Structure 1
Amino acid sequence: MGGHDRFDSADESRGNRLEADGPPVFDDELPAPRSARTVPLAALLGFALLSTVDILRSGLAPAAEATCVLLLLGILGLQFQHSAPGGSRAPLARRCLTLAVQALLTCLPLLLFHAYWATMAGCLAASLLLLLPPPVAWSLYGVVGLGMLILPAFDGRSVLDGILLCQTTLLTGFALYGLARLAELVTRLHAASGELARRAVTGERLRFARDLHDLLGCSLSAITLKSELVHRLIPTQPARAMKEVDEVLSIAEQSLTDVRKVASGFRELSLRQEVRSARSMLDAAGIDVRTEVDLGPLSAHLDTALATTLREAVTNLLRHSNASRCRIEAVQLDGLVRLVVENDGVDPAHHDPSPYGGNGLVNLHTRMTAVGGRLESGPWRDGTFRLLAEVPVPSPSSTARVGG
């Protein structure tokens, strides 16, 4: 009972530490798409309000003012549609149609309201930039701005007023265009952050599944073999059976430790220790084992990758072959660590019916590639099966130079 309490408290403390040390959740730090869309909407409503005030101050007849408000609502509806994220990806025919309608609603009232309606020309300029290809859009954008130079002539105003209207139209169009593009970029950034988070979760799930497969496959095979050996030894050799039971308990405890290391994202294995464990497992299975180990100091990630490769190779040997002999070689020579596992129990007709039967070698290829190594496996000379893994090891002098 006390052991379970210790394990539970350790898991809780580890979980709290992971939450504290994990990557920050930056989703809340990004401006929300809804807030980003509110800014261009508020700007557009502000320009529409200015136009309405100008029309009401112009002294036109009530019927003309009512017509102005209706036209203004129509332009606002089209502008909302053009400024929405993804509006530029609509079919070209539909974009041209809505732009033509907006151009009519903008240009025809200029004959009645003259300079009082000039703000709506800025909305048309923004829609041109949003919906058309850049060369055409910027050309028409300039035409709309230059058209405002001649508008004050209808009211008898000066050339300076025309320049002011041209500048105001171009600035209004550019501001609305920039705000709409900004809202679209924020929306894409928000979607991209969610996609990155989903990919990170998927990658962590794959890592967890791969590590569990590599760890528990070998451990459970060892427990099964030694349990069968204990079952055979109990009637005739109880003392040796007790010794094997102790080893089963040790393997089970080590498996529990490995699983917790996988869950916490931290796991290191030793190739030398795995060679000893593999020899013990193969001896228990009645397989003649020869080992050759000549290794120098290895970095933690190389040691773990090679140890995992040996563990998976031994697991496949026990599960998928009827070997009687096995040779394990782990040597370091000329800047390479070479791991070879050979056995004489290859079965060419073997087929694993499990849909996940090929995950082990796939995982090993992934691990070897990640550390800059290579992995080969398949039938070898004299009907044997060989797995070869080679990983380059940095020389001490180059390591020292990098450190310096």
Structure 2
Amino acid sequence: MRSPVTGAKRQGNRTEVPAPRLAQGISITVISGFGVITMLNVRNAVSGGVQLGLCVGAVLVLYALQFMVTSSGARRWSPRRRALALCLQASLTFVPMVWVGIAWGSMAGPLGGSILLLLPPRLAWPCYGAVTLTILAWSSQSSGVHALEVGYFTISTALTGLVIFGLTRLTDLVREVHAARAEMARMAVTQERLRFARDLHDLLGYSLSTITLKSELIHRLIPANPERARDEVAGVLGVSRQALADVRLVASGYREMSLETEAAAVAEVMAAADVQVETDIACGRLHPLVDTVLATALREGVTNILRHSKVQSCGIAAAVEGETVRLTLVNDGVVVQEKPAAGLGSGSGLGNLRTRLTEIGGRLAAGTTEAGHFRLVAEAPLRPDTTDTTGAAGTGEPSVSVA
């Protein structure tokens, strides 16, 4: 519900700021109130229908100009347009005072607010002070004006200018806050889409490659070895069920993996593809986040090996070195010269790994060795840095090297 006083919306324990239209409505109401007060002062100071009509017309023109100055577009006016608006408002403020007298002095308050809104601060505040001092001097020299009235006109001029300036700037800030919130909401949706796409690529890429590889193997085994083909069908069913479970976990936003479990699964897949595999996973129990990221790196590395090389042998090793866990994949059968920099910045594959690793304070290095093997090294700290994952992912640059 909206509060009748502040127009704020409460959700749980959080109070939202007033909407831009409400903030603007408050500013318009306050400025209109100043205009009504000015008309009442003028009505008591002038006599005659013609003179009153001219004064009312001048008040309407001046406050119409005031509404233009307090609009959000006025902050984008050119210096020439700002100067023209201030000159016109100053003329409508001080020239009628010659005939109407100090009663017209209440128009100086809006002029002070316009000066604060349209001029740079180094000029605005001295000019605002000059307007206030002008009203003080004018009222002091006016006949029939008591000391209390002099103080009233001076203080009301200063306060009116500050109120108009403050309400206008607060309205601008409310607009900026709501625009920032809308942008943050769009960014959150974009980040969630990127997370979903990244997780689908990292998790299902490996599973689909495994299903394809095993299906090709089954196709070759059916005529010669039906029993083994039947066993491989069971393996395909297991991988497909795991892929379905992965999709559900991605949708829920949580997926925890084990490096040792993935290494065992990778060795089985490689063996089915007649690839010699040497595994050496000697890192012990890891932080769940580090375990998941390194297991994802292993999946992506093996997926790339199966897709982009004619691999015959592959080495997988993981070890703890000081405060760092290092995962290394080395394979032969490189067909096309790899381009690590392009892959790392592509936004998928190795690019996803780079994002995941940099988010926890790790790094990724990939390249072709002098012996013609492809080597991928993923390093992660034993105690992951999770204090600012968004900033880390956006600013960290990977270290790409060739061993």
Match of 2:366 among 367, 371, 377: 377
What residue number does 2:399 align with? none
Structure 2 distance, partners of 1:318, 1:25, is: 51
Structure 2 distance, partners of 1:113, 1:43, is: 24
1:30 corresponds to 2:17:
yes
Query: Letter of the aligned partner of 1:98 in structure 2?
Result: A
What are the equivalent positions in structure 2 for 1:274-289 lying under 5 Å apart?
274-289=262-277
5+ residue gaps, structure 2: 1-10, 385-403
1:169 corresponds to 2:125:
no
TM-score (normalised: structure 1):
0.87
Structure 1 distance, partners of 2:108, 2:115, is: 11
Match of 1:202 among 190, 206, 220: 190
Query: Letter of the aligned partner of 2:358 in structure 1?
Result: T
Superposed displacement of residue 255, structure 1: 0.7
What are the equivalent positions in structure 2 for 1:237-316 lying under 5 Å apart?
237-316=225-304
Superposed displacement of residue 58, structure 1: 2.4
Query: Letter of the aligned partner of 2:315 in structure 1?
Result: R
Indicate how the Cα distance of structure 1 residues 125 and 207 shifts in structure 2: closer, same or farther if over 3 A, else same: same
Indicate how the Cα distance of structure 1 residues 91 and 26 shifts in structure 2: closer, same or farther if over 3 A, else same: farther
Superposed displacement of residue 94, structure 1: 0.7
What residue number does 2:133 align with? 146
Structure 2 distance, partners of 1:176, 1:26, is: 31
Structure 2 distance, partners of 1:199, 1:77, is: 39
Structure 2 distance, partners of 1:334, 1:28, is: 48
Structure 2 distance, partners of 1:51, 1:118, is: 9
What residue number does 1:45 align with? 32
Matched-pair contact (CA < 8 Å) for 2:277–2:315 = yes
1:82 corresponds to 2:69:
yes
What residue number does 2:379 align with? 390
Query: Letter of the aligned partner of 1:147 in structure 2?
Result: T
Per-residue CA shift, 1:25-54, capped at 9, x if unaligned?
A: 999933110000011110110010011112
Query: Letter of the aligned partner of 1:372 in structure 2?
Result: G
Matched-pair contact (CA < 8 Å) for 2:270–2:276 = yes
Identity of aligned residues (%): 45
Per-residue CA shift, 1:128-164, capped at 9, x if unaligned?
A: 0011011211111111111112333334323332222
Superposed displacement of residue 334, structure 1: 2.6
What residue number does 2:355 align with? 366
What are the equivalent positions in structure 2 for 1:37-186 lying under 5 Å apart?
37-152=24-139, 153-186=141-174
Superposed displacement of residue 85, structure 1: 2.0
Superposed displacement of residue 347, structure 1: 2.0
What are the equivalent positions in structure 2 for 1:226-241 lying under 5 Å apart?
226-241=214-229
Structure 2 distance, partners of 1:172, 1:394, is: 58
Structure 1 distance, partners of 2:248, 2:13, is: 28
3-state SS in 2 of match to 1:383: coil
Higher RCO (C-alpha under 8 Å, 6+ residues apart): 1
Count of residue pairs brought into register by the alignment: 371
Structure 2 distance, partners of 1:301, 1:66, is: 77
Residues 122-131 or 290-299, more deviating: 290-299
Query: Letter of the aligned partner of 1:330 in structure 2?
Result: A
3-state SS in 2 of match to 1:391: strand
Indicate how the Cα distance of structure 1 residues 189 and 358 shifts in structure 2: closer, same or farther if over 3 A, else same: closer
Matched-pair contact (CA < 8 Å) for 2:46–2:100 = no
Structure 2 distance, partners of 1:159, 1:57, is: 20
5+ residue gaps, structure 1: 1-23, 396-404
What are the equivalent positions in structure 2 for 1:324-343 lying under 5 Å apart?
324-343=312-331
Structure 1 distance, partners of 2:270, 2:346, is: 21
Indicate how the Cα distance of structure 1 residues 380 and 265 shifts in structure 2: closer, same or farther if over 3 A, else same: same
TM-score (normalised: structure 2):
0.87
Per-residue CA shift, 1:371-395, capped at 9, x if unaligned?
A: 1111111111421111011222149
